[in-house]
Structure 1
């Protein structure tokens, strides 16, 4: 597992701990407003709140330690970059040492969107009255680039990369293709993929031992031969490629890094999508369905189905349940739940949920861990890799309820990796970029997952 993945996992664990602490504090507030308050009950709840507080502190310390380690890695990487000869690297604009106080011709504080730069290019090309001044500015700018960026000078992009041109700071404004990325994959249990083999094997006890009362002294005691079944999990390979022209790489600005960034993000999106939707082994395929059929669906009617699903998760796991249940849903379902209004409340108060409050939204951005909690305190992960074309009308989504510790993902600590190959495309002046990685997963160590599905989960309407 990479350091970035460990940090993402630590953030999710901290979010969960914070949610639990909020639950315990809200429960304490609710308890103190109870007319039948007892000192013992308050003391017990204070102890639970303090224990949750300690867990938050522990999780926070773990995250800070990982982030400190990441910062040090970044420092070491930056230090290593300084040892590269100037002719082979292209430092960022704000990382270049200069003598005196001379300002750049084109700067983000005065020409943030590159309007002046573009106007000068047009003026020079058309030979307008401002051509002389434009030419001077462009020549001065190009000289600055030669001094600061050596032989990595980028004059202009070509073809599909026409917008990626110097000045260098403008390349940071490119708009990458939006991706659903990997919210679910970051929330579940991670393992390092073994260094060899194309299969992960797990032994599952399918027939347990037996214990019963002895019928009489010296009588035979209960005995049952245990038996296990091998759960074979295939190692899968995810890969993508892109061929770039040498012109785009050598005369465009940052083209190669932009393409690699897109490939890496699509790699993450593909992995997360397979965890949810892959035939036979994906979460949708292995989860036991809890059907919600309704021609006029409402959040109030959906909620009991969610509780039924959670009850099924616990019934399947029994003493193997970690208690770290999560609900996974599409963003359209999460906002539909927030849109709902209610005049009734659960009969039994829940830890961390103030009386007459149905759940909570933590206002987290997409892909940043727990987004909020259901009325019973279950954390919600919003993932737009959840399919929205299910059912007979191809307009339904699903809500998944799982113990996140029983959703297992093995990843190569170095994944995704990439290959930069020039020879295969040399005759056509092309450079082949390939991104790939190995992974394995299972949600079936125990048949615990539940999914809410049916006509009650058609495209939501907001009113």
Structure 2
């Protein structure tokens, strides 16, 4: 595990510790207003809160130690670069022995927007051998770190290159819904060849029954399966830029590339939800909520009905890791609710006097909160808001996280920079593309809440 991966893990541990501490504090505050308050109960909740505090402190210290180590590593690397004799050219990537980790050719801390990578791609077309050498080293690094995952991508003509991994997470100024749902579901590596993924599904099960009498025939049903073929799809986008805008502009190419990455992620996620026939909205079984004056309290039983349907469909194949996926307008509308009635059955991690919990995390950061029964909420604005007879409804999706499957090419998204097709007009074509496949229907389990009760919400006071 690299130091950067250790830091990422420590950051996630700290985030979870903070969330646990917040839950413990909420529980303590809720107990203090309980008319049946006992000293023992307060002591128990205070102890839980203090233990959560200590966990936050430990996680914070661990993260600080790793970050200090990373800072020192960067400092030493910069010092080594400054003290290297200028007369000695560094040996080629494949002609030097290494112990431990070596700095990557293209690094986020030195080139966060990928300008160096893009300049090298452009320079390679004009025969710049040093640029070609850097790109070759980058491709070798990718094969070394992810060789078991990546396709055999040639670099001779530099027509298709693997984009440095950190660049796929960059943000351009234009907003995007991105891929909250795609990131939350079960991930698989796309097979190396073929334009479909095949899964065998048992459609006729064996049977067991009570034997009618001694020596009589026992129950027998021939097991049978059906091949489920899932198509591999291609998401792609391009942008033609003038050479003047690239050569005379300031960072224009990197801005366009950043935006293409984000449109790619948004398109993939939207396809998973909205594609006709196979998208989540198309395959989910409807739980209708019809109401001209909807409230969160009236909507919540529909959520429970949907989750009951999910479990009934999966039975022993249910992982129990259910999720609720909704538009941000629906999540905030639910937070707007006020009431005096509380669930009669408490749930782990949820204060009894509240209707779920909001984790106060930003859009696209994973779980945004939990519903009263503990179901995590994923907020995704790729969900349509123009559904229903009046074109103003959205939907809430419920399902088992592990039964929403996404296969992605580990090299995706790929980047092509082509100058020849538009050379007569001094144009440069940038293309971003990738392959993926998905299914929500290995088991027909997903549910969606839909109907007039999910029309555009109004945010009114109690």
Aligned partner of 2:292 among 291, 295, 298: 295
User: Which residue of 1 is the match for residue 357 of structure 2?
Assistant: 360
Give me the whole-angstrom Cα distance separating, in 2, the residues matched to 1:430 and 1:346.
63
Distance 1:385 1:90, change over 3 A: closer
The match for 2:329 is 332
* Alignment CA distance shift 1:304-1:89 (3 Å): closer
- In structure 2, the CA distance between the partners of 1:74 and 1:462, relative to structure 1 (3 Å rule), is farther
| 2:455 match | 458
Pair 1:281-2:309 in alignment: no
Kept in 2, the 8 Å contact 1:16–1:379? The answer is: no
Q: Measure how far apart 1:18 and its partner are.
A: 8.8
CA distance in 2 between partners of 1:305 and 1:9 (Å):
36
Q: Could you tell me how far apart the structure 2 residues matched to 1:437 and 1:404 are? A: 23
In the other structure, the counterpart of 2:319 is 322
Distance 2:436 2:176 in 1: 20
How much does 1:221 deviate?
2.0
Distance 1:90 1:375 in 2: 49
1:208·1:227 contact (CA, 8 Å) conserved in 2? Answer: yes
Specify whether residues 14 and 221 from structure 1 end up closer, same or farther in structure 2 by C-alpha distance, changes over 3 A only: farther
Give the direction of change, closer, same or farther, for the CA distance of 1:307–1:21 in structure 2 (3 Å limit).
farther
Give SS of 1:425's match: helix
> Of residues 431, 437, 440 in structure 2, which corresponds to 1:440?
437
CA pair 79-252 structure 1, distance change in 2 beyond 3 A:
closer
Contact 1:292–1:456 (8 Å) recurs in 2? yes
Q: May I ask how many residue pairs the two structures share in their alignment?
A: 354
| Inter-CA distance 29–349: structure 2 relative to 1 (3 Å threshold) | farther
Task: For residues 82-129 of structure 1, give each alpha carbon's deviation from its aligned partner in whole angstroms, at most 9, with x where no partner exists.
Answer: 9xxxxx8899xxxxxxxxxxxxxxxxxxxxxxxxxxxxxxxxxxxxxx
User: What is the match of residue 375 of structure 2?
Assistant: 378
The answer to whether residue 376 in structure 2 is matched with residue 348 in structure 1 is no
**Would the alpha carbon gap of residues 73 and 431 (structure 1) be closer, same or farther in structure 2, given more than 3 Å must change?**
farther
Aligned 8 A contact 2:172 2:255 in 1: no
Correspondence for 2:405 = 408
Deviations 1:145-190 (A, max 9, x none): xxxxxxxxxxxxxxxxxxxxxxxxxxxxx96210000000000000
Whether the aligned pair in 1 keeps the contact of 2:323 and 2:376 (CA below 8 Å) is yes
Task: Determine helix, strand or coil for the equivalent of 2:293.
Answer: coil
Alignment partner of 2:247 out of 244, 247, 250: 250
Partner of 1:104: none
Q: Give the CA deviation at 1:450.
A: 0.4
Q: For residue 388 of structure 2, what is the aligned residue in structure 1?
A: 391
1:40-439 aligned within 5 A = 75-78=103-106, 176-439=173-436
Q: Deviations over 1:171-217 (max 9, x none)?
A: xxx96210000000000000010010000011110111111222333
TM superposition shift of 1:345: 1.0
Counterparts of 1:372 and 1:456, CA distance in 2:
22
Deviation at 1:81, TM superposition (A): 11
Structure-2 change in CA distance of 1:28 and 1:191 (3 Å): farther
In the alignment, structure 2 segments of 5+ residues that lack a partner are 39-43, 75-99, 111-115, 120-170
CA contact (8 A) 1:203 1:231 kept: yes
**Structure 1 contact 26–353 (Cα < 8 Å) conserved:** no
| TM-score (ref. length: structure 2) | 0.67
Is the Cα contact below 8 Å between 1:188 and 1:409 reproduced in 2?
Answer: yes
Report the Cα offset of residue 350 of structure 1.
1.5
Q: Which has the larger radius of gyration?
A: 1
Task: Give the alignment's Cα RMSD to 1 decimal.
Answer: 4.1
